[in-house]
Structure formats: structure tokens, C-alpha cells
Amino acid sequence: MPEKQQAGDERPRRRQARGERRIAQLLEAAAAVFCTTGYTAASTNAIAREAGVSPGTLYQFFPNKEAIAIELGDRLMHEMRETYGEALAPVDPATPLEQAVGAAVDRFIAFNCEHPVFFALMHGPDVPGRITEEHDALHQTLVTRIEGLIRSFLPDAPDADVTRTAQMCLGMYKAGLELVLAHEEAERGAYVQELKNALFRYLEPLTRDGAAPTPDPAAPPLP
Amino acid sequence: MPEKQQAGDERPRRRQARGERRIAQLLEAAAAVFCTTGYTAASTNAIAREAGVSPGTLYQFFPNKEAIAIELGDRLMHEMRETYGEALAPVDPATPLEQAVGAAVDRFIAFNCEHPVFFALMHGPDVPGRITEEHDALHQTLVTRIEGLIRSFLPDAPDADVTRTAQMCLGMYKAGLELVLAHEEAERGAYVQELKNALFRYLEPLTRDGAAPTPDPAAPPLP
DNA sequence: GGCAAACACGAGAGATCGCTCGCGTTTCAC
DNA sequence: GTGAAACGCGAGCGATCTCTCGTGTTTGCC
């Protein structure tokens, strides 16, 4: 129950079943509008219209526009944790890296395909204040999880290297996700495979010689 | 009383030296504001204030807000072509892939570090209409160039595969750029190296067996 | 039935932003 | 010098957006 009460001035209202239904309805409408226009360009009136209610009704349930996105993000995050929480759990080092990468990618791609608004909310540099914080929190959570996964294969690497590798993995995943979402059907599947390939090839050398993290290139940097 | 010309062609005004100076000044101010707030959130009044002129003066030189970003993008693109145009030219297949990747990454990273507004303008999903077109045009240009570079090493691969690989490379570069720009000094250098590693390891297997593009994993693809 | 609270409405207040307009100043060709 | 055009200003218009408010309706509890 994601009921929030600010210190002091706003006490929690007792919602009726009708209210809960309206909230769900409004969040669904907001997801649709955010998907097509992005957060900043989405007007609260448009969200209310999409939900088939008046602007006043919307503000009966959300104190402001930001709260809509926050609540939507919270529910999305909760569902992600519930459904795919173990996707990045550390695995037995005996597990082939290829399988671990493939499974993790498949799960996350599936989630993002089912909830396109997640990508819209998490990818916009236009989102203000608190949403950015949530974004950063999620990012950090994912990086930590990936670090754990990498540690399964590289128990003795320096922390800084593992963090960098995890950040790079997450960045590659985001880039791949964008490509996957931009294509359909067979081509989409091909991009999923391409993303797996990229991640696998990036990580595979690390599993072979745990002591030599970054093979320094012979050539000095060009001017 | 001179007649208003509103439709059709707007004849170019004869600019004085003072005007050219103002334009440069306004574009510089716009770059600063776009960098800190993004395009949509940047107000024309803020740009004018940053440049130390009045809003009316700004509109002496630009018909609307979009034109400012367009002109800024055009000049950036021009400078990029002039300075780094050959960064992605096809290379002698004898060139080590590691060198080719390293040189290309170094050049583009340098450009983006020198012009942070480039990243801000090209990375915002908030930018409207014509800027998105320019973004897509640049994206397509880069993909085509990368395709050419990949063809240097893979003369006989199917077009679709090369395109996918090029898109993936560009995505990885964008992701890496974001990480590079988010860090400073030594850590930044480490991320540059990490990006090079990722790209190199992704592309390296393709240069060995030109006939087997994607090693199919044991698991069947999910829908 | 009676009542209080939750729900619903929609006009519009208040704020912001892109952009204009009238008018004064500077520059330049002649 | 003189006139025309470029330059410069800043109040404010019109459009848009977030959020409020007064009022009326529905719901749940006694």
C-alpha cells in the first residue's frame, strides 16, 4: 500500500473502491500519454481526458503532475522486482556465461516490451526532480546487481574495475534495448541476439584470465 | 508604409558585422542554456538574458526558438565534418582493428568533450520536429560510415548483418560517451579504454571468420 | 432516512513562455 | 550630411499549462 503522508499538513484520505479504480485508470492513461509524448510534454488535462475524467478529478488523487509519474514509477519498479527480481542474482560460476547473459537479457527485454512506459520514464532527460532521483536509485541498484553477477565469475578483481564493467554492461543493455524497441518481429529478435553477443563477447575474456583485467593496447594513444 | 511579407520567401537580410557578432554571442549563450536545462526547458528569455540582450533582439536574428537549435546544430555538424570527417573513413584491412577503433573513439570523444551541447541536443527525446530530423540524419550518416568501416574488414557479409552491427556499435558508443562524460580525469580515461575494449571485443570475432557472423547459442530464441 | 466524507465536475485563476510591436539608436552607402 | 536599413529595447499579447475552488452527486455507515 503506497500511501504517503507528508509531515504535518496532509492526512491520508480513506479511499473508496471507486477511488482505487480511478487511480488505476488514471495511471493507465498517464502511461499511455507519457509513452507517446514524454513526461514534460504530457499535460495533466490530456491525461484526464485520456482517462475520461475531468482535470479536477485527477487532482483529487494526485497532488501534482510529478506525483503521477512517481506513483507510476513506484508501481513499475515494484512489479519489476517481483517478477524479475532474481534475474541478476549471482549465479554458480559453473554456469556458462552465455546462458547467464542470455537469460538476464531475455527477462529484461520482456519486461520492457510489456511496459513501454518504463523506458519512456527512465530515458528522458526532461524528467524533473524526484523522478531523476528514482532513476538514479534504480540505476545504482542494477549496477550493484550486475557487479554481483560479475563477481561470480571474477572473484578477485578490484572493485573499481568491476564497477566500470557493470556500468558498461548496463549502458550496452540500454543501447541495445533502444534498438530492440525500434524494430519489429524478426529484426527485433536479431537485435536481441546481437545485444547478447555484444555483452557476451565483452565479458567473456574476463572469465578466462581473472588477473589481467584490461589488456593494454600496444599502440600509445593518438594525438 | 511597407507591406508585410509573411508567406513564402523571407529574403535574407544584409547583416552588419555587429549582427554577426550578436548571432555568435546568442548561439554561445544558447549552447550554455541548452547544456544546463535541455532544449524544451530552455526559455528564449533565458537565452537572451544569458547573452545580455533583450528578447526582442534575439528575434531580430532567429525567427523562433527552434531555429536557434537548428543553427547551433548545423554549425556543430559542420565543425564535426571539418575536423573529424575522416575519422570513420574505411581503412586498409591490414590496419589492426584495435587501432581503427581506438582512433575513431578518441576523435569522437574529444569532439564531444569540446562541445558538450552536442550531446545535449542529440540525446534529448524532448526536442521537437525538425531537430529530430537532423538527429536522424546524423545518426544515419554515422551508421553508413560505420558500415563502410566494417566492410573494410568484412567484405562479404550480408547487408542486414552489417547494418545491425553498425547500429550496435553506435549504440555502444553513445552509452560509453554518457559514461565518459559522467566522470572526470583518470576515471574518465579508464572509461574511454573500457569503451574501446567493448567495441574491439564485439567486432574482433567478425574479422576472423568472415563466413560465420553470429554464433548461434544452444538455446532457441524467445519471442 | 440522515449525514458526513469521498468523488466528480469544469470554469478559470495564476503563472510561464514564445513571440510581437512600436519606437528609439547606430551604422553605412551615397 | 542625410536617409534607409540594421540593430536594440522591453512591455505585453495570446496561447498553454498546472492546479484550485465552488458546487453538485454518490457512497458508506448509523
Please answer whether residues A134 and A51 qualify as being in contact, where contact means their C-beta atoms are separated by less than 8 angstroms. Answer: no
The distance from CA A157 to its chain's CA centroid, rounded to whole angstroms, is: 27
Average pLDDT over residues B81-93: 72
User: What is the share, in percent, of chain B residues with pLDDT greater than 90?
Assistant: 63
- Partners of B197 on chain A (C-beta within 8 Å) are 202, 214-215
**Hey, are the CB atoms on B179 and A167 less than 8 Å from each other?**
yes
**Hey, are the CB atoms on A176 and B198 less than 8 Å from each other?**
no
- Residues sharing a CB contact under 8 Å with residue B74, sequence separation 6 or more, in sequence order: B134
**Hey, are the CB atoms on A126 and B168 less than 8 Å from each other?**
no
pLDDT at residue B94, as a whole number: 77
Task: Give the A:B interface size as CB pairs under 8 Å.
Answer: 115
Per-residue pLDDT at B214 exceeds 60: no
Between helix B65-84 and helix B129-153 the angle, nearest 10°, is 20
φ/ψ of A35, rounded to 5, equals: -60, -45
Please answer whether residues B98 and B166 qualify as being in contact, where contact means their C-beta atoms are separated by less than 8 angstroms. Answer: no
- Residues sharing a CB contact under 8 Å with residue A154, sequence separation 6 or more, in sequence order: A162, A206, A207, A210
Distance CA A187, CA B215 (A): 17
Per-residue pLDDT at B10 exceeds 80: no
pLDDT at residue A125, as a whole number: 65
User: What is the share, in percent, of chain B residues with pLDDT greater than 70?
Assistant: 84
Distance CA B51, CA A9 (A): 43
Distance CA A171, CA A165 (A): 10
Q: What is the DSSP string of B72-86?
A: HHHHHHHHHHHHHGG
Average pLDDT over residues B75-103: 82
Distance from CA of B13 to the nearest CA of A (A): 34
Count H helices and E strands in chain A, helices first.
Answer: 9, 0
Q: Which residue's CA is nearest to the C1' of nucleotide D18?
A: A44
CATH number for the segment(s) B69-208 = 1.10.357
- Partners of B125 on chain A (C-beta within 8 Å) are 38, 123-126
Residue type, A107: R
| Pairwise pLDDT comparison (B10 vs A139), residue with the higher score | A139
Closest chain B residue to A35, measured at CA: B125
Residue type, B35: C
CA distances from A79 to A24, A74, A75, A111 (A): 14, 9, 6, 9
Average pLDDT over residues B57-69: 97
The distance from CA A82 to its chain's CA centroid, rounded to whole angstroms, is: 14
- Partners of A146 on chain B (C-beta within 8 Å) are none
**Hey, are the CB atoms on B175 and A179 less than 8 Å from each other?**
no
pLDDT at residue A83, as a whole number: 80
Please answer whether residues A166 and A181 qualify as being in contact, where contact means their C-beta atoms are separated by less than 8 angstroms. Answer: no
Is A217 exposed, middle or buried, given 0-12, 13-18 or 19+ CB atoms closer than 10 A?
middle
Establish how many alpha carbons lie within 13 A of residue A176's alpha carbon, considering only the half-sphere containing its beta carbon: 22
Per-residue exposure over B28-46, b if at least 16 CB sit within 10 Å of its own CB, e if not: ebbbbbbbeebbbbbebeb
Residue ranges of the domains in chain B?
17-62, 69-208
**Hey, are the CB atoms on A204 and B201 less than 8 Å from each other?**
yes
pLDDT at residue A11, as a whole number: 59
| Pairwise pLDDT comparison (B81 vs B215), residue with the higher score | B81
Cβ neighbours, 10 Å, residue A34: 24
- Partners of B102 on chain A (C-beta within 8 Å) are 217, 219, 221-222
Candidates B40, B106, B194; nearest CB to A126: B40
Establish how many alpha carbons lie within 13 A of residue B154's alpha carbon, considering only the half-sphere containing its beta carbon: 26
Distance from CA of B67 to the nearest CA of A (A): 20
Distance from CA of B104 to the nearest CA of A (A): 10
On chain C, which bases lie within 7 A of the protein's CB atoms?
Answer: 5-12, 16-22, 27-28
**Tens of pLDDT, residue by residue, chain A (223 residues):** 343 444 444 556 789 999 999 999 999 999 999 999 999 999 999 999 999 999 999 999 999 999 999 999 999 989 988 887 666 666 777 788 899 899 999 999 999 999 999 999 888 667 777 888 888 888 999 999 999 989 988 889 999 999 999 999 999 999 999 999 999 999 999 999 999 999 999 999 988 765 444 444 444 443 3
Q: C-alpha cell of A8?
A: 504535518
Cβ neighbours, 10 Å, residue B70: 18
Closest chain B residue to A198, measured at CA: B202
**pLDDT tens by residue, B140-172:** 999 999 999 899 888 899 999 999 999 999 999
- Partners of A172 on chain B (C-beta within 8 Å) are 171-172, 175, 198
CA distances from A198 to A106, B63, B139, B169 (A): 14, 45, 20, 9
Does A56 contact strand D, using a CB cutoff of 7 Å?
yes
**Hey, are the CB atoms on A164 and B205 less than 8 Å from each other?**
no
CA angle (B199 as vertex; A135, B214 as ends), nearest 5: 105
Mean pLDDT of all residues belonging to chain B: 86
Per-residue pLDDT at B5 exceeds 50: no
pLDDT at residue B220, as a whole number: 46
User: Domain B17-62 sits in which CATH superfamily?
Assistant: Homeodomain-like (1.10.10.60)
Distance CA B25, CA B38 (A): 19
Cβ neighbours, 10 Å, residue B14: 6
The architecture CATH gives domain A70-208 = Orthogonal Bundle (1.10)
pLDDT at residue A12, as a whole number: 64
Residue with C-alpha cell 549563450?
B29
Please answer whether residues B199 and B101 qualify as being in contact, where contact means their C-beta atoms are separated by less than 8 angstroms. Answer: yes
pLDDT at residue B88, as a whole number: 66
pLDDT at residue A88, as a whole number: 66
